[in-house]
Structure 1
């Protein structure tokens, strides 16, 4: 399915609701759509020893949270490199290989990007960047923003045009995760309700025992869900006010996917 205009999308969903599954399916159905993962960007910049990578390396190794303005610099630099964002007055230039990740930001004009976009405060003094509407500039932004404060910073750089809220009843998700068993060496995942192993508690391929992840229990999940609600409800309200929020509910991923495809095609295809 080909897109007719750029989709700049965020998926929001509680742990276990199937956000990863829906992301993978969207990327497969719409070849022009690509994933921009903040985690991948951080790891790449650290490995490549870029100036931003050097700044965040110590924080990451210490297990701390990377500052929001640094995350936004990573994202904006990546989008500029790909030609998906440009400063007002700069010509629109699409890169030949938009999937390639390089080590240095592509710079336009006299000012380096890091001097032009450094923080939310600096952005207040400049005209917002211009986003490409070319379909090949379509992306799912993964891992950011997670809070209203981050969303407001993101708004100054990236005009998100669709925020998808995935919803599944909490009792269904709890049943799903408490029925989940894994074969740790291979990563194979089973579920006793819809994808049970041939022999209970045993991996189909190796015959080795299956285990449950430490956080696959009711109490741990309820606490994770509570924390998710605390941050996601204000975030969704923020995007609802901007007119870009769309909510979809289903009992399973297979029930949600067709609705998601239909809405995505209606807006962008």
Structure 2
């Protein structure tokens, strides 16, 4: 299975990417995690400052910068083992790059919740930065407040998780990524891929069951 998770910021892509990759033993390529790790370890202050400006404004990082950061990870994996892409592609140009590199996708899962709920979810989001584990103060709270369940280390709130930046990111998503959804739906109508829209308004366990049913059906069909 070669999967792309689509959906606006805060819709839950990271949570379900982890579930899918662990259950189906897929390589989980999170562009957000790659960028955050790059910012932590990169010594090029000019580039770091440039990236932080885009992030703090809530606008998408330009394609050329994204490609330079993710290409080593993205274009040097064993695709025969299957993989999951979270946060890439984000526009049609990036989808064309995948096709040009012969990185063929066969499943698109689009996660959806209303924008008002997205804002509530992002405001309550807490992250364990070293592992990328995601919690929520109401929907998925840690066992101990503000502490990671496994390591006990302190959870953080991302600097871009505030109302102004969230609204900017949602506008960017509507402008850049919604055309990408139309692009992949056309691929689905041509019977080239499986495309499923999942309404992520139910409890996490119920959404996991939906996803599991979709992927199990895909495996049976392929067999």
The 8 Å contact of residues 59 and 66 in structure 1, kept in 2 or not, is answered as no
In structure 2, distance between residues paired with 1:188 and 1:153:
29
Q: Of 172, 187, 199, which aligns to 1:249? A: 199
CA change 1:175–1:77 in 2 (3 A) is: closer
Higher deviation after alignment, 257-266 or 140-149: 140-149
CA change 1:174–1:29 in 2 (3 A) is: same
Secondary structure of the corresponding residue to residue 196 of structure 2? strand
Map of 1:34 onto structure 2: 27
In structure 2, distance between residues paired with 1:235 and 1:196:
35
Map of 1:78 onto structure 2: 76
Which aligned pairs between 1:52-91 and structure 2 lie closer than 5 A? 60-61=47-48, 63=50, 65=62, 67=64, 70=68, 74=72, 77-79=75-77, 82=78, 84=79
Map of 1:22 onto structure 2: 16
CA change 1:233–1:141 in 2 (3 A) is: same
CA change 1:217–1:188 in 2 (3 A) is: same
- Which contiguous aligned blocks of 4+ residues in structure 1 show a shift greater than 6 angstroms? 41-44, 181-184
CA change 1:232–1:190 in 2 (3 A) is: closer
RMSD over aligned Cα, in angstroms?
A: 4.1
Secondary structure of the corresponding residue to residue 141 of structure 1? strand
Map of 1:159 onto structure 2: 104
CA change 1:149–1:167 in 2 (3 A) is: same
Map of 1:10 onto structure 2: 4
Q: Name the structure where helix makes up a greater proportion of residues.
A: 2
CA deviation after TM superposition for structure 1 residue 238, in Å: 0.7
Normalised by the size of structure 2, how large is the TM-score? 0.66
The 8 Å contact of residues 6 and 86 in structure 2, kept in 1 or not, is answered as no
In structure 1, distance between residues paired with 2:214 and 2:49:
42
**Unaligned stretches of 5+ residues in structure 2:** 52-61, 149-154
**Unaligned stretches of 5+ residues in structure 1:** 1-6, 48-56, 85-135
Deviation string 1:72-122 (CA, Å, 9 cap, x unpaired) is 85356403xx3x4xxxxxxxxxxxxxxxxxxxxxxxxxxxxxxxxxxxxxx
